[in-house]
Structure 1
C-alpha cells in the first residue's frame, strides 16, 4: 500500500505545514493500527477486513473519519465476517482531526510527560510519540485486548510508549505534565489532579456534551481553565465490557402514556445536533437520553428519557411549527429544554462555550459565564 501519499493527503486535511502535528500525521501509518472496523447497516454493525480489500482499507484509514473498532463487547478483530453485531460502539479510532485538536489543546511542548487516556487503536499515542518521544508517552485503556493489540501494532511501526491496562477514573500510573483524554468523563476524577504535576494541564470532554475542558493545575491542588470554543464529543468512559442498558422500559412508557400535556411554540428540535443546547441541557440534567423519529403521519418526534424516571414525548405535525408535548415522572424534562431555548433566542447564544472552569482538589467542577453557573 502506498500509505505515505495517503497520510500526506490526510495531513493536509487535518493540519498545516507550520503545525507541530503536520509531520506526525504524515509519518503515522494509521492502517497498521486499524486492520478491521465496523460499518453500520440495516441489520446492525458489520465488520470490514482491511487486508482483504486494500483499496477500501486505505480509503478508510486515511480519511478524516472515526472507525468503530468495538461494538458492545465484540472487537472488530474478533468478529465473524458477514455476521452483523448489534449494540452501541464502545471503542474506535477517532477521526484524526479531533485527535489533533485534543493534542493541540494539551500544549505538548518538548520534554513534557503525557498520559494519553483511552488507547483505542493507539493512533493518538502514535502521534504523541512522534512529537515527544516514546519515553515521555504513557497510554492507558480499561480494555486488556485493546492495550495488548495496540502495543503490538505500535511496536510494528517502531513506537514503544508505555501501554497500561487500568481504569482511567482511578489511581493513575505515575505523575504527568499533561493528561489528554480521548474518552468523555462525567466529572474530573480527583486522581487526575493527584497525578498531575505542578502547573500541569488536563484536557477532556464532558459526558453527554460537546464541551472540551482545558485546565491548568493550581497551587492548592485544583485546576482552573476554560471550555474551549471547539466542539467535540467522545464515547463515555466505562468500567466494564459494555455500557449499562439503555432506558428501553422508560421509552415504552414515554411512547404510550398521556402524562401532562402542553403545547410548545417551537418545532421539534434534534437536540444532539444543536451542540450548545445539548451541552447546556446535559449540564442541567446529566444523564438525559435523546431519541428522534417520525410519527405515522410523517410528523417529527422526539423523546427525552432520564434515569430518575422522567420522560417527555414531543411531536410537530406536518406543516406545523408548534409542538404537542407529553411529560411524566418527577421532572419536566421538556420544560428544561424550553427554558434553554428561550435563553438562546433572547441572548443569541448560550454561556457554555467559553465558560470559565474551576476544579477543586476533590474534582468538583464549576462552569461559569455571564452570571450562569453549573457545578458537576
Structure 2
C-alpha cells in the first residue's frame, strides 16, 4: 500500500517513518525548497531559523523516538541549557529555574534542541533512498473508493491508498479537504517570533542558560547556540491574529522599551524572521475517506501548552501502528483512522484546554501577574512540585500502549 505524506516537518517525517516500518510505500511532499545542510547554512546566514526555535522535547514523543532507535541521535543535538533565568527589561535577575528542576519535571527524560535539528534527525532516519520531494505541494485532492488522486503544483498527478496532511497549522491538505483555516483556528492572543544572530560578545555573556526578559505583555528570550551565535524567542500580546506586513519593524516597536542585550540583538533582525500568531487548531474529525491529518494540521496545542513536537511524533506512531494491520480497502483504512483519532484526540484536547487556561500566565498582561508567576517559578524548583506537576507535563501511561 502507498501513502502520500504532505509536509516534511516533524509530523510528516515521523509519520513516514512509522508507515514505512508498517510496510507502506511513502512519498513525502514539501512545499519548501530547502534541502539539508547547504540550505540550513544559507538560512542561518540570513538570520532565519529553519524549523523554528528551541523546543523542550520530552513526554510521549521522547518515548516514541526511543522506540524508533533515534534517541542518541536526538540527544546529540542537545543544547545542554543549564536553566532559565528570568530578568527585568533592564536585565536584573528576578527568578530562576535550574536545569535540574526541568529534568525532575520531565522525569529526567528531556532534551532541548532546535526544531530544525529534530527534523534533520528524522529525515536522515528515512535514508537516502526515501522518496522526499521538495518544492511541490497539492493543488487538488480527489478521494475515491479505490484510492486518492492528488494533483500537484508541478502539474503531475499522484495516486495512493492514503493521503496524510502533516503540513502544519496552515495546512494546505486541510484547506482542500476539510475547509478553510478560519473554521479551525483558535487565536490565543499573542504573536511569536524567532531569529538567529551572530555576536560573539553577547553569545559569551549568555552562557549556558536561556535568559527571559519580561514586562507586562511582552517577553524576550535569548540563548547561545555556539561561541559566536545565538537565537531569540520573542512573544508578545496582540489584539488580533493579523500578522504585520513588516515583522522586523513590529518587533523593534514592541520591544523598544527593553534593554540589556536585546536592542543590540534586534539591530541584527533579518527582514523576514520567523513570525506567526500563537493559536490552536481544533478539527472536529481528523479524517475523511482516504485522507487523514496528523500533527499541527489537526491538533496544534500552541506555545501556551507546549509539547507540540512531542505530540506530533507520538501521534505519528499511533497512526502508523493502527495502519500496520489494515488492508487496502476504504473500510479497513477508515476503521484504522478512527482508532488513531480515538486514542490520540482525548490527550490532545486535554493539553489544548490546559494551554487555554494558562495562556494569561504565559505572557502576563500586568505587573501583578508577573510577580505571581515569578513566585510560582521559584516554587516549581522544589522536588514536591516536580512530583505534583510531572503527570500533567508528560501525560499518563496506558497499559503497555504508546504514551499519547
**TM-score band (shorter)?**
under 0.3
Normalised to the residue count of structure 2, the TM-score between the two structures is 0.25
Higher RCO, 1 vs 2 (CA within 8 Å, ≥6 residues apart): 2
Normalised to the residue count of structure 1, the TM-score between the two structures is 0.27
